Amino acid sequence: MHLLLLAALACLTATAIAAPGRKPATPSPKPATPASDSTSPPSFAAPADAASPAAASAPKITFSQCHVEGPYIAMTFDDGPHGANTPRLLDMLKQRKIHATFFVVGQCAAEFPDIMKRIVAEGHEIANHSWSHPQLSSMSESGVRDQLQKTHDAIIQTTGVTPKVMRPPYGAFTARQRSWANGTWGYKCILWDVDPLDWKVRNAEHVKHEILKATVGGSIILSHDIHKTTVDAMPETLDGLAAKGFKFVTVSELIAMDRPVPPKPKATPAAKPETSEGSKTEAGKTPPVPAAPDSTPAPKAKP
Ligand code: NI
């Protein structure tokens, strides 16, 4: 597990937008700016096959959080679908008219086609989280292709929808792999900035507390619908986020609202890249947030 951790951290560091220091302060979500909702100009939207331009204008393909105008956030649920917990979560989301994003594991998608159909029918986004949850960053290209293609196909077969984004298990995906997956399937690589460590601390109160504490406008919140305690946490978590003024959108909706962070006037290249909004986290600073990114073992036993 240590190796996985290190690899994941190295990967996250290399993304250069690894989750910036959390701002535990209250999110001060402004009242919704309706304009963002309806117009949501995809400020960076570049087709996957855009001619690889110079780095300066290269399309952004990795997101840990978004810079958006308005209190928009994306709830994301990984590693399912799960036969019991995912339907329960879907009930909660439906009751609240909330759309989330499900990063499914292909072998689970194939096992629960009806749940897959329900996820899509109820307006949620489905995304690729590999076939069997391996650490992709240490695999061969053909192995990675197999993991992502089989899941891509399973999602299309069960739902008729083509996934647009992916999340690597453990957050472990090299820059080269991200670029390749973007060119191959058009995938954006979605990481996260809020991690309640719900796979580790199986306590609903903890999950709720961590999410409510760390979420800010533009946050991408990681959790796992395979864990009962995570789903148990959701009614109060979702209601608590809504009470703070947050608006729930899918990941693809959130990244379509993403705008460049205004450049900071000061340019001290040697300075420690500590807090900046993800613009220069390249140096060996360990990102503080995803201490144990998504370290859920591959879901083995299905109920
Ligand atoms: Ni996972």
Q: How confident is the model at residue 138 (pLDDT cuts 50, 70, 90)?
A: very high
pLDDT in tens, 170-198: 999 999 999 999 999 999 999 999 999 99
Separation of 151 CA from ligand 1 center, angstroms?
14
Measured CA to CA, the distance from residue 293 to residue 284 in angstroms comes to 17
Residue whose structure tokens are 């909004």: 277
Q: Which residue has the higher pLDDT, 183 or 288?
A: 183
Q: What is the predicted pLDDT for the residue at 134?
A: 98
Note the pTM of the prediction, 2 decimals.
0.72
Alpha-carbon span 98 to 88, nearest angstrom: 14
Cα 293 to averaged position of ligand 1 atoms, centre (Å): 8
Average pLDDT of the residues in 256-262: 92
Reply yes or no on whether the pLDDT at 136 is more than 60: yes
What is the Å distance from ligand 1's center to 41 Cα? 30
pLDDT at 266: 73
**The predicted structure's pLDDT at residue 59:** 87
Q: What is the pLDDT of residue 40?
A: 32
The single residue listed with the structure tokens 């952004």 is: 60
Compute, in angstroms, the gap from residue 17 CA to the centroid of ligand 1. 20
Q: Which residues of 28-39 are buried (b: 16+ CB within 10 A; e: fewer)?
A: ebeeeeeebeee
Residues that are catalytic: 78, 224
Rounded average pLDDT over 115-140: 98
Q: 62: helix, coil or strand?
A: strand
> For residue 205, is pLDDT > 50?
yes
Phi, psi values for residue 125, rounded to 5° = -95, 140
Could you report the per-residue pLDDT of 5-20, keeping only the tens digit for each? 444 433 333 333 333 3
- The tally of CA atoms less than 13 A away on the side-chain side of residue 36 is 23
Is the pLDDT reported for residue 34 higher than 70? no
Is the CB of residue 216 less than 8 Å from the CB of residue 247?
Answer: no
**Half-sphere exposure at residue 212, Cβ-oriented, CA atoms within 13 angstroms:** 19
The residue type found at 240 is G
